[in-house]
Structure 1
């Protein structure tokens, strides 16, 4: 290949796709079928009622098959604003909501409005790899903010990393990959830091619907927030719409006007059927979503309850929540090598910590991410039984 953008060349391959290649040539027996805990997305389709609503829209709504508004269906934007104002007991208007082709696109659009090559964005580590990948291919420096034992970012440490090139701090809560839920006071401290420094606070709440806490997870929408705060959200996890690619960007109308340029250029408009599905889900699936949350929280409880057996073998649970358990393994082996060997030895596919940290970060070599979105309490028990037997 003679011509290649050097920023693209420096960007790592997609981690989930890379991990899937580890399955090539491996045969799994009926006694030990593959346990795939590599991807944080539901594989089941939406509930039947939602699929019926999608089918009805496809058959009866002619406008679902043509271009729509770049910033999304007005009805969906209005519904998001109304529900957000209620959930957060805050102030959110339709003009502060944009619908995007998935949450990753919301992040890309946000960064496009904020930063140019050579600028800096602060990311707590372990970070969400697609955030890092987008910054790399855009020529924007990802500045790692190391987290401690509890995987919680420290606003004071972040303050020391801010330079004249810093454009934003990114927080993901509940966290991917760590699973931890950031306390409201930490989010408030980061908001005040960013406001004081004149930079943006980007809060990715893709997994908000599976937060174990009751009530609003923070109070950032209760004041005049949109000079500083940009919130990202995904409908994919809540309503199993991963293939429809529907997300949201909540920000000032002025910023959304700039984001519209980006969104129009890369997709013109979000998926029309997916938007109608998200709107129908928001209006009709509250109880169902509550049941899904209860199931995910039960899986989190199963992780916590079952982990002492692994702890006896010197495993350590660093964080758990939403779809994730982030663990430290006890072996004198690099986590990437370990993850590949686990496929063949015990039929488990997960991601190594090296996919979530800078290349020189020593912690990544000892850590693994387990995504339990698609294994229930019984599956978690089977996973732990295999991990208990793992020896090197």
Structure 2
């Protein structure tokens, strides 16, 4: 296993910031906004409650599990109860718990690419082998691509819609095809729904909404990190068949004991707050358009409009060719050092020639970042052009 390359970008940005540089971070996979006051007040109240000072159930707070179950039922269609839910230390931990229950040494798990490196990392951490599945030009997984990667060792598929870094939302027809394929081959489907609140096209559907027959071989992963700006609180969950939950509960009991009660109380308040995610989605939709239009005004950049999520994922290969950079990693390093704008190179997602740019920031910061990118990547003065030609 290797460290998540996104963290390396964030660490470099922090180093520059500590030296006095005014760095704008468009690399983080988190909202810039603070957690809402109602959630913070719930946590403060929990801190003052002596009950929250002691051990709690390994599976998680019953009230939180019941509310999660209700939300998952609403999203997916099939019924879920509190007994079907395990509270975890964020969605990444939930993914690990699911894979720990499903995967043995050498078992293969299909992971869409370009995709978040954390999916492959949690597969490896559970002893499995992550097999990348190349998505189509719209960043959606097809049954043909899945079948080309399937072997006798394939145990599961991790599906994320909207995806990270691409923002792609799988349409209903594609989800139905994938569900039929999974059922035909006895495959488990792990649905990473962490970006479900950020769908700008109105086309998001849970795969279980389309194919409820997968209920007995599906794991639904979610959390409060993205839609409630609570990445640091580390509260996520998995909803799954009882045997998966039993394994997850045992693993939690033997390792972390349980997710801190104060954090769970905060998550409970978050799930009762429907205004914050809706407001964030409206703001992100507007900022998405602002960023994509600006990037497409820069020669050499081709940026599709993402269906959902928090990121633009432009193709910068034309820019690399014109300016003499050998990779998007070189470009990202140059932007950080020169323009003091942090982005994630596509190599982190097995997508060389692209960069990931987060738009989950406030308007003023985004406008400043766009101005810096345009200034840094705009038309090259004639003298600089000659120097680039001589350097090639």
Report the TM range for the smaller structure's normalisation. Answer: 0.7 to 0.9
Contact 1:177/1:326 (8 A) holds in 2? yes
Name the structure 2 match of 1:6. Answer: none
Name the structure 1 match of 2:185. Answer: 197
1:55-106: CA deviation from partner (whole Å, max 9, x where unpaired):
111102x221222111111111111122232334442222222211100000
Q: What's the CA shift for 1:249?
A: 0.3
Name the structure 2 match of 1:346. Answer: 339
Whether 2:6 is the aligned partner of 1:23: answer no
Report the secondary structure of 2:57's partner residue. coil
User: How many residue pairs were aligned?
Assistant: 370
Report the secondary structure of 1:153's partner residue. coil
Q: What's the CA shift for 1:258?
A: 1.5
- Higher mean alpha-carbon deviation, 326-335 vs 222-231, is at 222-231
Name the structure 2 match of 1:45. Answer: 34
Distance 1:355 1:219 in 2: 27
Whether 2:366 is the aligned partner of 1:380: answer yes
C-alpha spacing 1:255/1:97, structure 2 compared with 1 (3 Å): same
Name the structure 2 match of 1:322. Answer: 309
Distance 2:240 2:288 in 1: 32
Name the structure 2 match of 1:335. Answer: 328
Q: What's the CA shift for 1:156?
A: 1.8
1:24-72: CA deviation from partner (whole Å, max 9, x where unpaired):
7647999x83221111112433122221111111102x22122211111
After TM superposition, the structure 1 = structure 2 runs for residues 351-366 of structure 1, keeping only pairs within 5 Å, are 351-357=344-350, 364-366=351-353
Distance 2:250 2:17 in 1: 48
Name the structure 2 match of 1:70. Answer: 58
Q: What's the CA shift for 1:219?
A: 5.4
Distance 2:196 2:246 in 1: 26
Q: What's the CA shift for 1:286?
A: 1.1
Name the structure 2 match of 1:13. Answer: 3
1:274-315: CA deviation from partner (whole Å, max 9, x where unpaired):
1111111222x11232112211111122223334312xx020
Name the structure 1 match of 2:384. Answer: none
Contact 2:169/2:203 (8 A) holds in 1? no
Whether 2:49 is the aligned partner of 1:56: answer no
Q: What's the CA shift for 1:20?
A: 3.0
Contact 1:40/1:372 (8 A) holds in 2? no
> Which segments of 5 or more consecutive residues in structure 1 lack a partner in the other structure?
1-10, 358-363
State the TM-score, normalizing by the size of structure 1. 0.88
Distance 1:120 1:269 in 2: 29
Distance 1:110 1:319 in 2: 32
Q: 2:217 aligns with which of 202, 205, 228?
A: 228
Name the structure 2 match of 1:160. Answer: 148
1:201-234: CA deviation from partner (whole Å, max 9, x where unpaired):
1110101111224486235147343322111101
Distance 2:14 2:287 in 1: 29
Q: 2:106 aligns with which of 114, 118, 122?
A: 118
1:242-300: CA deviation from partner (whole Å, max 9, x where unpaired):
222100101111211122222222311112111111111222x1123211221111112
> Which segments of 5 or more consecutive residues in structure 2 lack a partner in the other structure?
381-387
Distance 2:75 2:106 in 1: 37
Pairwise CA RMSD: 2.3
Distance 2:77 2:302 in 1: 37
Name the structure 2 match of 1:361. Answer: none
C-alpha spacing 1:215/1:70, structure 2 compared with 1 (3 Å): farther
State the TM-score, normalizing by the size of structure 2. 0.88
Whether 2:168 is the aligned partner of 1:175: answer no
C-alpha spacing 1:93/1:213, structure 2 compared with 1 (3 Å): farther
Name the structure 2 match of 1:239. Answer: 228
Distance 1:224 1:137 in 2: 29
Q: What's the CA shift for 1:109?
A: 0.5
Distance 2:244 2:3 in 1: 30
Whether 2:254 is the aligned partner of 1:261: answer no
Q: 1:282 aligns with which of 263, 271, 279?
A: 271
Contact 2:183/2:214 (8 A) holds in 1? no
